[in-house]
Amino acid sequence: DSQLNTGYNFHNFIEGETNRLARSAGKAVAKRPGGTSFNPLFIYGGVGLGKTHLAHAIGLEAKENHPDKTVLYVSTEKFTQQFIEAVRNNNRNDFIHFYQMIDILIMDDVQFLSGKKATQDVFFHIFNHLHQRGNQIILTSDKPPVDIQDMEQRLISRFKWGLSADLQAPDYDTRLSILNYKIEKDGIEMPEDVLDYIAKSIKTNVRELEGSLNSIIAQATLNKKEITLELTQKTLSNFINNTRKEISIDYIQRTVCDYFKIPIDEIQSKTRKRDVVQARQLAMYFAKKFTKASLSSIGSQIGNRDHATVLHACKTVKNLSETDKVFRGYVEELSRKISVE
């Protein structure tokens, strides 16, 4: 049994600007598992953005294209449980053999390997075996490989061997497409201004988008009312206030790197390249501005610097934005991006 959920397929995984790369890489892998350079395919992104859905979709399509191949979906938690159990029962080798036989292995939420040394070791051996034989590995994580804490370097470097593709928070058009798809599937009619309002209000992730849609439908059904803009606004006012997004340092770094088109591992590195230094300083400044983290905590999360460096970065950004108009533009635009999204 491949443990795949047929409800999560490509047909109902709506394509948009924010998932295009990950989606098409997934399609390619399903077509030629082990036969592309996307091995492993590493899909990352925040909660509710579709990692699990996409992982199942790839598995299902791969199975359909290659009925002779064995596919297995496993959550990292389950993998860890099975391993602990195997060790306890003296079945470690059986466990390893079982995984080494799989043609297409999908492991969901590998960030949960963090801090689990023995499980990382066994996964390392399984990974090498599968990869050497040209079997396909698909991994998901809530962050890119470099940002996973307490993970052996040799594993992180293998995670980067193939293709890393991120799922970003859906943009307006993608949100609207998803809403349209869902109501059509359920045979529900909704005025356009209502759909527009939901798509404009719920920006965080697809799970919340679905949740808010369901609340509106429930409200209308319970009160035997039409779905109007007024009902929608009332229902969502609770929703929005309760689910206000917390701004994380991780998110700030990603936004800054995205903006300047700098890979996030550069910011984390020791490099003193001018544009990277500037991005790093901006990330520190926004972390100070938008989070409650201490200077030393900010420093340790952004490039492993000390609190004095963070303090210096904050001052530099302030000074520069007073004297340099272009720089001030960056700060203002980034500030808006970070707080509004």
Provide the minimum distance between the beta carbon of 213 and ligand ADP in the complex, in angstroms, as a whole number. Answer: 11
Provide the minimum distance between the beta carbon of 341 and ligand ADP in the complex, in angstroms, as a whole number. Answer: 17
Identify which of residues 52 and 168 has a Cβ nearer to Mg ion in the complex: 52
Q: Which does 304 bind (CB under 5 to 8 A by kind): ligand ADP, Mg ion, none?
A: none
Number of H helices, E strands in the chain: 16, 5
The span from the CA of 147 to the CA of 268, in Å, is 9
Identify which of residues 174 and 321 has a Cβ nearer to ligand ADP in the complex: 174
Contact in structure between 267 and 303 (CB atoms under 8 Å): yes
Q: Which residues bind ligand ADP (CB under 6 A)?
A: 8, 12-14, 19, 45, 47-53, 178, 206-207, 210
Q: Which does 206 bind (CB under 5 to 8 A by kind): ligand ADP, Mg ion, none?
A: ligand ADP
Q: What is the CA radius of gyration of the chain?
A: 22
Q: Which residue is nearest to ligand ADP (CB)?
A: 50
Q: Is residue 141 near Mg ion by the rule CB under 5 A?
A: no
Q: Which two three-digit tokens encode residue 70?
A: 């064995």
Contact in structure between 146 and 264 (CB atoms under 8 Å): yes
Provide the minimum distance between the beta carbon of 43 and ligand ADP in the complex, in angstroms, as a whole number. Answer: 9
Provide the minimum distance between the beta carbon of 51 and ligand ADP in the complex, in angstroms, as a whole number. Answer: 3
Identify which of residues 143 and 288 has a Cβ nearer to Mg ion in the complex: 143
Q: Which residue is nearest to Mg ion (CB)?
A: 52
Identify which of residues 17 and 94 has a Cβ nearer to ligand ADP in the complex: 17
The sign of the dihedral angle between the CA atoms of 318, 297, 286, 241 is negative
The sign of the dihedral angle between the CA atoms of 85, 87, 90, 95 is positive
Neighbour count for residue 312 (Cβ, 10 Å): 14
- Residue 324: CA atoms inside 13 Å, Cβ hemisphere, count? 10
Q: Is residue 52 near Mg ion by the rule CB under 5 A?
A: yes
The span from the CA of 262 to the CA of 24, in Å, is 23
Identify which of residues 99 and 112 has a Cβ nearer to Mg ion in the complex: 112
Question: Minimal CA–CA distance to 284: which of 324, 318, 245, 244?
Answer: 318
Q: Which two three-digit tokens encode residue 203?
A: 């920006």
Identify which of residues 56 and 66 has a Cβ nearer to Mg ion in the complex: 56
Identify which of residues 124 and 181 has a Cβ nearer to ligand ADP in the complex: 181
Q: Is residue 232 near Mg ion by the rule CB under 5 A?
A: no
Provide the minimum distance between the beta carbon of 136 and ligand ADP in the complex, in angstroms, as a whole number. Answer: 19
Q: Which does 60 bind (CB under 5 to 8 A by kind): ligand ADP, Mg ion, none?
A: none
Provide the minimum distance between the beta carbon of 28 and ligand ADP in the complex, in angstroms, as a whole number. Answer: 17
Tell me: cis bond preceding 40? Omega within 30 of 0 counts: yes
Neighbour count for residue 325 (Cβ, 10 Å): 8
The span from the CA of 41 to the CA of 50, in Å, is 15
Q: Which does 196 bind (CB under 5 to 8 A by kind): ligand ADP, Mg ion, none?
A: none
Give contact residues for Mg ion (rule: CB under 5 A). Answer: 51-52
